[in-house]
Amino acid sequence: MKFTDGYWQLLPGVTELRPRQVDDVVATDDTLTVYASTAPITTRGDTLNRPLVTVTLHSPMDGVVGVTIEHFQGGLDRGPRFALHRDAGDVKIATPDLTGQAVATLRSGQLEARVATAGDWSVEFVDVTDGRVLTASTPRSVGVLTDADGRHFVREQLTMGVGEHVYGLGERFGALVKNGQTVDIWNADGGTASDQAYKNVPFYLSSSGYGVFVDQPERVSFEIGTEVVSRAQFSVEGQSLTYYVVAGPTPKDVLRRYTALTGRPARVPDWSYGLWLSTSFTTSYDEATVTHFVDGMAERDLPLSVFHFDCFWMRQFHWSDFIWDPATFPDPEGMLRRLKERGLRICVWINPYVAQRSVLFAEGKERGFLVKNPDGSVWQWNMWQAGMGLVDFTNPDAVAWYQDKLRGLLGQGVDCFKTDFGERIPTDVVWHDGSDPQRMHNYYTHLYNRCVFELLEAERGEGEAVLFARSATAGGQQYPVHWGGDCESTFVSMAESLRGGLSLALSGFGFWSHDIGGFEGVPDAAVFKRWLPFGLLSSHSRLHGSDSYRVPWAFDDEAVDVTRRFTRLKMSLMPYLAQAGRVAHEEGLPVMRPMVLEFPQDRGAATVDTQYMLGDSLLVAPVFSAAGDVDVYVPEGTWTSWLTGEQVTGPRWVRERHGFDSVPLYVRPGTVLPVGAHDDRPDRDHADGVTLHLVELPDGHRSTTRVPSGDGEAVFTVRRDGGVVRVTAAGTDAPWAVEPFGGRRVEVAAGSAEVVVSL
């Protein structure tokens, strides 16, 4: 939200209080509280009728410094609040009487906040390892504002340096770099073609080696270089604002700390990496249709892992009652058993609304499990289904009730849920726990997805739970997987979907998917075939549409061939992808990574949003044209095409032309790429028969490659000295192989722990 008319003047009707002079500093063992007057104090009389701004510094964990700015402190904290993982570590605090200088400091790990206690207001955030000021709050940064309508706001503006880029803020479909953008953190069901987003996260990551997380679940307005071009501004309505500065120095370090604070992604099951096929949204389907799709995939040798039933597995006007439409599915248990006998997992669509015709509506109303209006009546609307109410997940009994209904589906053979919706949450209602409706608007999806995910973990076990979720906010990355929402079936929408996924990745989300071919409309064959490699070289892959099927043979024979080629390619890469998934779970680094995350010092990579790294070693550049022309940015070094073996040396842009059965897929120099022995399914022992492909290993190379194997992992240590590579294995008794790219393959017998390869 903007408050000024240019740099010098406020907008008409806006008034502002700013900290001008530090009056006092109070230190405890772990906090530093600064009381700042809003005008210079020269006599006692100047303290009369003079507001104070209170700024408290604190630290939840090493390398993270929190700042709370307050005007009036008498308000009610009705919640909700983000659940943060706190481990303060060693916090060091110093005040002017200890330092002998006009500065008070709070240090957490390598990050130090320095508050000027004399002169103009200033707080600098410094990386003490090199003395570099990462960002700062300056004399005109903090503001307590009142607008012409009497609404109160608190604002902060943090400095941005020359050439600094800002990323993140959740799933955003515009340019990856957020400089020059105004972003409101407010979940909305707006598709992928506007500035609205399903997944809004009040966190941004700076190319200057830090991140900022605004710890406010309500609407947060960001002005990234748009109110003051050299400032990242954020504001909330109310009397207080809390934010955290997260140290780097690299973007990966920032994400590691941020996800340690807000939660790391859960470990997803291997079977979820396979191809998901959906009935689509409004298409007509029954068991015969589903069987026809599954048979068609098998007949065409197309590996399929998950079959998804979308909305109309339930009766129309009954969403959500979790009852199979008896006219369409007279024997759901038998149908699911028959599908599972073919090795498939089953996903069904759900949402948090309960239609008036649902048998659950009267039960939910009677038991107080539905969100209420201020007069005590059930909140309802007619969007999507007639008379829908909304489950109140702030009520623990409602959570248990909802989970119990889903538990019945798990007993029938369902394996996971597509948790759709969760964005259009009303703000004129009363919540069971008294939560603030404004704060609950974004946070609701967190409670919804947590409810379903925790049920799956309880019933299926840790590592076996997975969602296909659309909405999220900060912390939602703990409940994967998320998909990009309703996109159109065009090349332009394919590109905007990718930008949304990359922006989400830089907001702490480890796993992401999208609708191959687009959701709205019917893609032409060229769009579908170009989207296939992109979709199958994403962490998760789903064929899904709105009013048309997405089976490959609905387009042409070549689409079938392209589906087969890239599905089997993905399955062969499971030893690599499964380890990338473990890194997402253990470190908070996404499987699909913007180029800037892997190459933060490469200025050529800073703004690239048409390609990505899949894990840390594979570069993928989707093709956004029927003709097949594509520009690829290749970072420094000699990169090798995984599909053709051709090599290109960067840093530079390369223009290529690809057929529908190809895509730029480059292996990073210095890579040991583990490739599986099987390409028919994702859930095998990845170490059994794995081949380690050695790609452009420099002399002196030393690396460790971890390959998930059952509940453990096989660990391969690779060393190159001159023309000899020595590979040792631990943690596996299965056979394996080593193959220098373009060189002689060396088989290693089961039980062997070492091999020497001559280059």
CATH of the domain at 53: 2.60.40.1760
Q: What are 646-690's pLDDT values in tens digits? A: 999 999 999 999 999 999 999 999 999 999 999 999 999 999 999
At residue 493 the predicted structure's pLDDT band, cuts being 50, 70 and 90, is very high
State pTM to two decimals: 0.97
Gyration radius from the chain CA atoms: 27
User: What span, in angstroms and rounded, lies between the C-alpha atoms of 517 and 514?
Assistant: 9
Q: Are residues 439 and 511 in the same domain?
A: yes
Q: How many domains does the structure of the chain reveal? A: 4
At residue 294 the predicted structure's pLDDT band, cuts being 50, 70 and 90, is very high
In a domain, 472, yes or no: yes
pLDDT at 346 over 90: yes
Q: Are residues 23 and 141 in the same domain?
A: yes
- Tell me how many helices (H) and strands (E) the chain has: 12, 45
pLDDT at residue number 98: 66
Domain final position from 239, 262, 285: 262
Q: What are 444-461's pLDDT values in tens digits? A: 999 999 999 999 999 999
User: What span, in angstroms and rounded, lies between the C-alpha atoms of 571 and 302?
Assistant: 11
Q: Are residues 285 and 185 in the same domain?
A: no
In a domain, 387, yes or no: no
User: What span, in angstroms and rounded, lies between the C-alpha atoms of 63 and 260?
Assistant: 11
Q: Are residues 47 and 101 in the same domain?
A: yes
At residue 742 the predicted structure's pLDDT band, cuts being 50, 70 and 90, is confident
Q: Are residues 253 and 293 in the same domain?
A: no
Count Cβ neighbours within 10 Å for each residue of 376-411 and write b for 16 or more, e otherwise.
eebbbeeeebebbbbbbbbbeebbebbbebbbebbe
pLDDT at residue number 96: 86
At residue 89 the predicted structure's pLDDT band, cuts being 50, 70 and 90, is confident
pLDDT at 99 over 70: no
What's 620's domain CATH number? 2.60.40.1180
Cα-based distances in Å from 258 to 60, 131, 581, 591, 747: 11, 22, 18, 16, 43
The pair of structure tokens assigned to 651 is 């840093």
Q: What value does the mean pLDDT take over residues 591-609?
A: 98
In a domain, 76, yes or no: no
Q: Is the dihedral of CA 29, 35, 41, 46 positive or negative?
A: negative
At residue 540 the predicted structure's pLDDT band, cuts being 50, 70 and 90, is very high
Q: List residues with catalytic annotation.
A: 420, 423, 486
Domain final position from 587, 608, 636: 587
Q: What are 371-427's pLDDT values in tens digits? A: 999 999 999 999 999 999 999 999 999 999 999 999 999 999 999 999 999 999 999
Q: Are residues 655 and 729 in the same domain?
A: no
| Strand ranges across the sheet with 210-214 | 21-27, 32-37, 52-61, 64-70, 240-247, 210-214, 200-206, 166-170
Average pLDDT, the chain: 97
- Which of 594, 580, 584 has its CA nearest to residue 477? 584
In a domain, 81, yes or no: no
Q: Is 524 exposed, middle or buried (0-12, 13-18, 19+ CB in 10 A)?
A: middle
Q: Are residues 232 and 312 in the same domain?
A: no
User: What span, in angstroms and rounded, lies between the C-alpha atoms of 296 and 304?
Assistant: 11
Cα-based distances in Å from 412 to 55, 407, 730: 55, 9, 41
pLDDT at residue number 223: 98
**Residue 225 neighbours by CB under 8 Å, 6+ apart:** 160, 166, 179, 180, 231, 232
User: What span, in angstroms and rounded, lies between the C-alpha atoms of 119 and 104?
Assistant: 13
pLDDT at residue number 281: 95
The pair of structure tokens assigned to 706 is 């971890």
249 prior amide bond cis, ω within 30: yes
Q: What value does the mean pLDDT take over residues 223-248?
A: 98
Q: Are residues 476 and 446 in the same domain?
A: yes
Cβ 445 vs Cβ 423: under 8 Å:
yes
Q: Are residues 185 and 333 in the same domain?
A: no
pLDDT at 616 over 80: yes
At residue 50 the predicted structure's pLDDT band, cuts being 50, 70 and 90, is very high
Q: Are residues 126 and 253 in the same domain?
A: yes
In a domain, 509, yes or no: yes
pLDDT at residue number 526: 98
In a domain, 105, yes or no: yes
Q: Is the dihedral of CA 177, 181, 183, 188 positive or negative?
A: negative
In a domain, 380, yes or no: no
Q: Of all residues in the chain, what percent carry a pLDDT higher than 90?
A: 96
At residue 751 the predicted structure's pLDDT band, cuts being 50, 70 and 90, is confident
Cβ 612 vs Cβ 595: under 8 Å:
yes
Q: Are residues 399 and 508 in the same domain?
A: yes
**Residue 520 neighbours by CB under 8 Å, 6+ apart:** 191, 486, 487, 488, 489, 546
pLDDT at 224 over 90: yes
Range(s) of the domain holding residue 696: 685-758
pLDDT at 97 over 90: no
Cβ 711 vs Cβ 736: under 8 Å:
no
Domain final position from 552, 587, 622: 587
What's 545's domain CATH number? 3.20.20.80
At residue 82 the predicted structure's pLDDT band, cuts being 50, 70 and 90, is very high
Q: Are residues 144 and 178 in the same domain?
A: yes
Q: What are 6-34's pLDDT values in tens digits? A: 999 999 999 999 999 999 999 999 999 99
In a domain, 296, yes or no: yes
